[in-house]
């Protein structure tokens, strides 16, 4: 009975201090500190401006009490240095000696006094981390947001960045369960000692704390080649993958990079809460899977990728090795930023976008939902790529691309509307073997470019032996002189260059995985035909 009374008394005292009394103490102490430290603050403003440039303050959205966002203020500690391609250098190279000194002395944290005065933060509490971490916490770890975040905390005086995320969160939760006036006072004194001794500034080999990707095992959907790159990214990031789900029964029971393929995707429809990532590079399929499977979608960033701390990354997004995402870019949900791809400042990639290896998106570009940028493609500044557009490999986009458009070339031009009929290009001729075309036509199950009328016309011409006319276009005679000049038996004249080249590629058996060298004078039609066959125009 007495024990229960003592426990109740302790809880009441904790709640009183943890509420209005703690907030009052914070504001009084912050006001006093701000007045006393004002000369130092002004001096640091001048030094940061001279050494690192503008802006002097670093601003970023962070989760506060109960996960409510607020704007965090700190002195900047890094330059905006870039390589010759314009991509931000890694953190280690942008963190100057002056920036390291600011961090080691914790002077970069002083602007957070403004956050305390505004009631966003407290002097003591769990440190405010990134907004995207919210969907990676376990329910227990999420309890760290039951109190206001702090300028310092129990984890900071017990290792700071030099301890694992698991240990850090355990220390945060211990503080939440034991918050009190004397504990706060102890932490403040220990913080002063740690700052003077400059302990725990960063974990070994990291200029900043490593990215938190979660502490529970995750599942991966998809067992193709793209999945291997996703698995490698997760492994390098320290994430434990529990299993892979794929609908190919031949893969069930096999291992991919040491991870078992445990069964079909339908096994994930049981309503059990899980953490996972979709390792499928098809944008439409990724969207479909995300809509029908209940999960906490993981955001994965390879350790060698450079992602500025002002960047927002949506759920389910993966950033591969060597990728660079510059300041204030906004990346949506389930986006693929491929190997060595770059996204410049203030650009937006909406949900379910995929940008290929080595592709480059310049500043202030808007890429709408479901669009795909091919390998090595480039988009000039301040352009818009419409919803569901496809940009061919190596293409350079110099003007806006409409929704549902396939564009290729240098500069990129529309070669086909995805839902409609192919665009018509000037008349050209191709010489082909009738027998080889007939053979390929008979075994081809899909005609992505031909409509029914065109397909019937091709079959009638080739099978009748009368190759003097293209019956799909009345009045067009066969170019006998052209065939004779080439020294071939047959030639077919068509008004649609895309269709003509598709016939030639079909004859040669060109398909996915092949590269087609195309001449500059017919690049648009040639690239279209290659793309429609699944090949890559070069």
Q: How do the domains of the chain map onto residue ranges?
A: 2-197, 218-297, 300-417, 428-537
Does residue 503 contact residue 458 with C-beta atoms inside 8 Å?
yes
List b or e across 280-302, with b for residues whose CB sees 16 or more CB atoms inside 10 angstroms: bbbbeebbebbeebebbbbbbbb
Whether 515 and 375 have beta carbons less than 8 Å apart is answered as no
- What local confidence, expressed as pLDDT, does residue 524 receive? 56
The span from the CA of 465 to the CA of 467, in Å, is 6
Rounded to whole angstroms, how far apart are CA atoms 1 and 267? 51
* Catalytic center residues: 345
Does 218-297 match 300-417 in CATH topology? no
SS3 for 245-311, per residue?
A: ECCCHHHCCCEECCEEEEECHHHHHHCCCCEEEECCCCHHHHHHHHHHCCCEECCEECCCCEECCCC
Beta strands in 333-381 (DSSP E): 336-337, 342-343, 348-349, 354-355, 360-361, 366-367, 372-373, 378-379
What is the token pair recorded at 304?
């060698």
Show Cβ contacts of residue 287 under 8 Å, excluding neighbours closer than 6 positions.
334, 351, 352, 370
Segment-wise mean pLDDT, segments of 10 residues, the chain, 538 residues: 38 59 92 94 93 89 93 90 69 81 87 95 94 82 94 87 80 93 93 73 49 75 92 86 88 90 86 83 90 87 89 94 94 96 96 95 96 93 94 91 88 66 30 36 36 52 41 38 52 52 64 66 59 71
Neighbours of 151 (CB within 10 A): 24
Residue 235 sits at φ, ψ, to 5 deg, of: -65, -45
- Condensed to tens digits (0 to 9), the pLDDT of residues 464-512 reads 443 333 333 332 344 455 445 555 555 555 444 555 666 666 656 677 7
For residue 397, the tally of other CB atoms under 10 A from its CB is 26
Q: What is the pLDDT of residue 111?
A: 95
Please give the Cα distance from 224 to 512 (Å, whole number): 15
Between CA 40 and CA 107 the distance in angstroms is 10
| Nearest in space to 516 (alpha carbons), one of 189, 481, 124, 508 | 508
pLDDT at 196: 76
Bridging pattern class, strands 241-245 and 366-367: unpaired
Cβ contact 126:172 at 8 Å: yes
Superfamily of domain 300-417: Hexapeptide repeat proteins (2.160.10.10)
CATH architecture of 218-297: 3-Layer(aba) Sandwich (3.40)
How far is Cα of residue 252 from the mean position of the Cα atoms in its chain?
Answer: 29
pLDDT of residue 387: 93
Peptide bond preceding 55 in cis form (omega within 30 of 0): yes
pLDDT at residue 472, rounded to an integer: 34
How many angstroms separate the Cα of 380 from the Cα of each of 309, 411, 454? 24, 11, 37
């Amino acid at each position: 009975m007495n024990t229960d009374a003592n426990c109740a008394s302790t809880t009441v005292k904790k709640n009183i201090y943890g509420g209005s009394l703690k907030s009052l103490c914070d504001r009084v102490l912050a006001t006093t500190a701000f007045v006393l430290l004002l000369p130092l603050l002004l001096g640091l403003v001048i030094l940061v401006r001279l050494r690192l440039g503008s802006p002097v303050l670093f601003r970023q959205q962070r989760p506060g009490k109960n996960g409510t966002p607020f704007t965090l203020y700190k002195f900047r500690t890094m330059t905006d240095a870039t390589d010759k391609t314009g991509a931000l250098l890694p953190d280690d190279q942008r963190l100057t000696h002056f920036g390291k000194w600011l961090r080691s002395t914790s002077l970069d944290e002083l602007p957070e006094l403004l956050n305390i005065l505004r009631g966003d933060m407290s002097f003591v509490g769990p440190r405010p981390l990134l907004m995207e971490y919210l969907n990676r916490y376990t329910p227990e770890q999420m309890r760290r947001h039951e109190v206001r975040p702090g300028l310092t905390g129990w984890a900071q005086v017990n290792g700071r960045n030099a301890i694992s995320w698991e240990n850090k969160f355990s220390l945060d939760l211990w503080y939440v369960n034991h918050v009190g006036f004397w504990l706060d006072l102890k932490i403040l004194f220990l913080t002063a000692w740690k700052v003077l001794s400059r302990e725990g500034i960063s974990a070994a080999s990291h200029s900043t704390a490593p990215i938190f990707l979660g502490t529970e095992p995750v599942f991966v959907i998809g067992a193709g080649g793209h999945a291997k790159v996703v698995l490698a990214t997760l492994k390098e990031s320290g994430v434990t993958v529990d299993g892979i789900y794929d609908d190919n029964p031949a893969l069930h029971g096999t291992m991919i990079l040491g991870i078992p393929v445990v069964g079909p995707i339908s096994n994930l429809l049981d309503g059990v809460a899980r953490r996972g990532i979709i390792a499928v590079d098809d944008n439409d399929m990724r969207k479909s899977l995300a809509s029908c499977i209940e999960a906490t979608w993981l955001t994965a960033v390879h350790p060698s990728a450079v992602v500025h701390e002002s960047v927002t990354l949506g759920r389910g997004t993966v950033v591969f090795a060597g990728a660079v995402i510059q300041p204030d870019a906004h990346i949506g949900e389930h986006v693929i930023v491929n190997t060595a791809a770059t996204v410049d400042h203030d650009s937006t990639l909406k949900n379910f976008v995929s940008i290929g290896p080595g592709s480059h998106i310049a500043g202030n570009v808007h890429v709408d939902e479901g669009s795909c940028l091919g390998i090595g493609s480039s988009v000039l500044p301040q352009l818009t790529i419409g919803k569901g557009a496809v940009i061919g490999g190596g293409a350079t986009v110099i003007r806006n691309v409409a929704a549902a458009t396939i564009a290729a070339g240098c500069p990129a031009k529309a070669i086909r509307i995805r839902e409609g009929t192919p665009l018509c290009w000037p008349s050209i001729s191709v010489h082909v073997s009738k027998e080889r075309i007939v053979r390929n036509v008979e075994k081809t199950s899909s005609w992505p470019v031909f409509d029914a009328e065109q397909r019937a016309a091709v079959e009638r011409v080739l099978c009748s032996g009368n190759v003097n006319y293209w019956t799909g276009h009345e009045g067009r005679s066969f170019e006998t002189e052209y065939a004779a000049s080439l020294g071939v038996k047959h030639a077919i004249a068509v008004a649609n260059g895309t269709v003509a080249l598709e016939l030639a590629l079909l004859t040669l058996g060109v398909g996915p995985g092949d590269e087609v060298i195309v001449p500059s004078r017919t690049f648009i039609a040639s690239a279209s035909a290659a793309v429609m066959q699944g090949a890559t125009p070069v």
